[in-house]
A and B are shown apart, each in its own frame.
Chain A
Amino acid sequence: MKLELGYVDINGIRFGDHNAIEDRVLVVNPDELLEPVLADPLIKTARFEIANPGESIRITPVKDVIEPRVKVEGPGGIFPGVISKVDTVGSGKTHVLRGMAVVTAGPIVGFQEGIIDMTGVGAEYTPFSQLHNLVLVMEPVAGAGQHEYEKAARLAGLRTAVAVGELARELTPDETVVYETASIADGFKEPLSELPRVGYVMMLQSQGLLHDTYVYGVDAKRTLSTMISPTELMDGAIISGNCVSACDKNTTYHHLNNPVIQDLFKAHGKTLNFVGMIITNENVFLDDKIRSSDWTAKMAEYLALDGAIVSQEGFGNPDTDLIMNCTKLENKGIKTVIITDEYAGSDGKSQSLADADELANAVVTAGNANEMIVLPPMERVIGTLDYIDKIAGGHDGSLRPDGSIEAELQVIIGSTNELGFNRMSAR
């Protein structure tokens, strides 16, 4: 499968009386773009706000972050099975609005979390502080059910991103990158046959309300582990329905820009043969965990992998899935590296994961989510601070009278992202 990504750089966003991209600036007519959002009977209010890198702005509670894209050649459209008709994506040509995102914000439940600071110490911990953000702030109608409203807010964000992406259809990209996967047969021919066969196992949150992920529109909890082309993700085959655990959930932006995939493509044909990708769920039911990890290991064996990288999503019981995946792969002779984050207490001394095994002997950590931070007050808040004391990692008194916040790192969107799409590192 071969996909060409054309990156169209966006250097700013402003409101205007029409929708367009002019001289690398996104011009938004709020009334026009909000019309389909407000057509949803569950959404009471919706408005756009703009947040640029370096501005004294705090966005909270954040639901999802989405990068606008448009499919310009090849089958299917962005977010297939959800916004576009079901069709296999991941080939042809796609334009990417690089440097910006659509951010959905506003309450879903009363302990909602997720902060993006556009400046200060908090900005250092989230990659989204570096983007021009078009923030869609929404409120539910009274009495809207949490399940129904989460879906409405999720779709509103995706629809807005697709509408914005469409504006780049006729533009000439600033940079073009081609991603191509080899067939299984080609992988056994020279020159790839000389290289170690490496696969990527991506774990998807799938436990219930605010913990769900969709693959071509299918709720991942009702799926068996399966194969997917990494280029399919670049066209939005996987979307996020996650609103809990801000630091280590994968937003839709993460799915579109998965750094594990990016790095494997870079090494492909040089130091390794990137054979393919397996997606597997993280369910509540223990038999599902056993079955899904069995299938992951079985498929990796079918693919004759020498090595595997496993990325986790979330914390707690997904640690069980992570260790099951790792040990079953290792027991088949497949050398496995896991990527996770840690809940090791504010001093970093407690056990990091809820599960462990001696076969999990190669671990990349994305940071300790319990680390305490103090976020300075911001001049402007997009959304509401009502939930700060309630969010994961916040506590009664987290929000100080001067508007500063003392909380754990886990309040920040993407701070310990387990795909490695974060700014914490050690050298």
Chain B
Amino acid sequence: MRARDLVHNGHRILTAPLSGSVKPWETPYRSIMVTSAHDDAVDAFSLDIMERALAIISHSKRSPETIAESILHDFQIIDLSLIDSALPSAEAIGVYRIPDKETEVKR
């Protein structure tokens, strides 16, 4: 919902909202990358893909109410990996900069 609101404020969706084969009702985590800069106009493609995704999620069944801590951790790892896989492409179009390794080591 927050991603859709951002689209309405002129941000563009960069990653597929239904990424991964973990089903929408299974995982409580779903990261979506959007542009930090925004235009005045709403991006039609972003809006369309968000609406389609939300329609699928709203029609899907309810998530289990309790999920063990260790499984939540695994869902987080998968969600992180999916969004991580988009970083090189995001860097290529200049919307993200992958920190260089030297800086990371110094920290």
Contact = CB atoms under 8 A, between A and B. Distances in A.
A320 B49 CA distance: 9
Interface string B61-85: 1001010101101110110011111
Contacts of A288: 86, 89
B26 interface: yes
A208 B84 contact: yes
Given A284-B82, A288-B89, A350-B59, A392 B21 contact: yes
Given A110-B71, A283-B89, A285-B90, A392 B78 contact: no
Contacts of A287: 14, 89, 93
Interface in A365-418: 390, 392-393, 395-396
Contacts of B85: 206-208, 221, 283-285
Interface of B: 13-24, 26, 33, 45, 49, 52-53, 56, 59, 61, 64, 66, 68, 70-71, 73-75, 77-78, 81-86, 88-90, 93
A179 interface: no
Contacts of B45: 286
A283 B33 CA distance: 13
Nearest to A392: B23
Contacts of B20: 207-208, 211, 244, 284, 316-317
18 contacts: A110-B70, A206-B85, A207-B21, A209-B81, A249-B21, A283-B85, A283-B86, A284-B85, A284-B86, A285-B90, A286-B49, A287-B93, A320-B49, A350-B59, A354-B18, A354-B53, A392-B26, A395-B64
Nearest to B70: A110
Interface string A28-67: 0000000000000000000000000000000000000000
Contacts of A284: 15-16, 19-20, 82-83, 85-86
A176 B37 CA distance: 61
Interface residues of A, number: 39
A208 B84 CA distance: 8
B89 to A, nearest CB: 4
Given A147-B81, A222-B88, A316 B71 contact: no
A214 interface: no
Interface in A276-310: 283-289
Interface in A314-368: 314-317, 320, 345, 350, 354-355
B86 A285 contact: yes
A102 to B, nearest CB: 23
Given A110-B71, A284-B86, A317 B78 contact: no
Nearest to A147: B81
A208 B82 contact: yes
B56 to A, nearest CB: 5
B14 A286 contact: yes
Nearest to B90: A285
B75 A111 contact: yes
A244 B21 contact: yes
Given A109-B77, A209-B78, A222-B88, A286 B13 contact: yes
A345 B15 CA distance: 26
Contacts of A209: 77-78, 81-82
